[in-house]
Amino acid sequence: MASVTLTRFFIVFILFPIITHSIPFVVFHGVADSCTKKGVTQVTDFLSEWSNAQGYCIEIGNGAWDSWFMPFEDQVEIACEKVKNMSELSQGYNIVGFSQGNMVGRGVLEFCDGAPPVKNFISVAGPHAGEASIPFCGKGVMCVLVDALIKLAIYSDYLQEHLAPANYIKIPTDLDAYREGCKFLPKLNNEFEKNATYKERFSSLQNLVLIMFDKESVLVPKETSWFGYFPDGAWDPILPAQETRLYKEDWIGLRTLDEAGRVKFVNVTGGHLDMADDDMKKYIVPYLVDEEIPENPTVTKSSGKDSSSSDDSTMGYIRKVGGHQDLLLNVVHRL
């Protein structure tokens, strides 16, 4: 009897703080996606369920269309207002960014005055150091042609104001034009003009989890997910984060965070945003469960297909988080 009571006491004692203190998380989706699309709602729900934390997908404007065509300064402003307006977040929250959604998430983290604190930032395939190709085209003749045209004008005021991805494209051999014309990434990375507040906010994260996909096909180079990039003025070799100026000169505090052991560089098997459930449980969920991060995160609660076998992660269920439908015709039409 006494031992039962004691066990109950311990269960309550152990679970109580986790349940009551679990802070919410918000999701920022990628380009061409929206909070109402199945991949995004499912992933938000599963992460909520697995972590026992409330999750919210924050929509910018009308979703897919605005993710393509609304400049990031505006996207961030909207996200900032929404985050400040949500009383659920007032005690602090975590951010999960998918692909381009990481640009919005980091914008909120760094630029949003008077916002509640961000504790953990989990980045799934974010173009943090830039993107060196036009991300939305395939191999067709039209595509190649349009890509070439866009590349010529990517840093023009017109494209900067009308094509969101232009705001984080960084062509390593066209850095003068980038410096002159790119309206968002240089500011986000404290690249030319430095603002100590952005660095202070970025460095205040408890954990920064940077997830890279080994078969990445959208981000060029894939190492941008880890803040790695091409060297200034050349296409090779791809520099690991630690060898970039952003890191070495600590523009935004990445080095500070890393030296404090708060950056997790994670690589997983899969193409862009094709993340196995097991990998989400292993690399995302522990950071959504507030309190201590367990040394060896074990997630017992699960739904859907779950491989508890000893097979490697490629055997797990792969969830397609983002959709990259072919919006080329729309793009051509708008330009």
Residue 82 in the binding site for ligand NAG (CB under 6 A): yes
Helix (H, G, I), strand (E, B) or coil at 169: strand
Residue 267 in the binding site for ligand NAG (CB under 6 A): yes
30 burial level (CB within 10 Å; 0-12, 13-18, 19+): buried
Helix (H, G, I), strand (E, B) or coil at 116: coil
Tell me whether residue 43 or residue 112 sits nearer to ligand NAG (CB atom): 112
Q: Give the span between the Cα atoms of 293 and 184, in whole angstroms.
A: 33
DSSP 287: H
Residue 85 in the binding site for ligand NAG (CB under 6 A): yes
Residue 111 in the binding site for ligand NAG (CB under 6 A): yes
Tell me whether residue 125 or residue 171 sits nearer to ligand NAG (CB atom): 125
Residue 121 in the binding site for ligand NAG (CB under 6 A): no
Q: Out of 54, 242, 269, 302, which residue is the one contacting ligand NAG (CB under 6 A)? A: 269
Tell me whether residue 113 or residue 295 sits nearer to ligand NAG (CB atom): 113
Helix (H, G, I), strand (E, B) or coil at 123: strand
- What are the DSSP calls for 24-93, one per residue? PEEEE--TT--TTSHHHHHHHHHHHHHHT--EEEPP-TTSHHHHHHS-HHHHHHHHHHHHHH-GGGTT-E
Q: Give the span between the Cα atoms of 282 and 191, in whole angstroms.
A: 33
Shortest Cβ distance from residue 5 to ligand NAG (Å)?
44
228 burial level (CB within 10 Å; 0-12, 13-18, 19+): buried
Residue 214 in the binding site for ligand NAG (CB under 6 A): yes
Interface segment toward ligand NAG; rule CB under 6 A; list 117-125, 145-153, 252-260, 264-272: 264-272
Q: Out of 81, 88, 249, 259, which residue is the one contacting ligand NAG (CB under 6 A)? A: 81
Tell me whether residue 91 or residue 197 sits nearer to ligand NAG (CB atom): 197
Q: Out of 173, 195, 217, 303, which residue is the one contacting ligand NAG (CB under 6 A)? A: 195
Give residue for tokens 């989706």. Answer: 29
The backbone torsions φ and ψ at residue 222, rounded to the nearest 5 degrees and listed phi first, read -65, -25
Shortest Cβ distance from residue 147 to ligand NAG (Å)?
28
Residue 113 in the binding site for ligand NAG (CB under 6 A): yes
Interface segment toward ligand NAG; rule CB under 6 A; list 78-86, 122-130, 171-179, 244-252: 78-86
In angstroms, what CA-CA distances link 143 with 67, 139, 147, 177, 193? 20, 6, 6, 23, 35
Site string for ligand NAG, 11-50 (x = CB under 6 A): ----------------------------------------
Q: Out of 36, 173, 197, 303, which residue is the one contacting ligand NAG (CB under 6 A)? A: 197
Q: Give the span between the Cα atoms of 92 and 54, in whole angstroms.
A: 12
Element (H, E) at 274: strand 274-276
* Residues making contact with ligand NAG (CB under 6 A): 81-82, 85, 111, 113, 195, 197, 214, 267-269
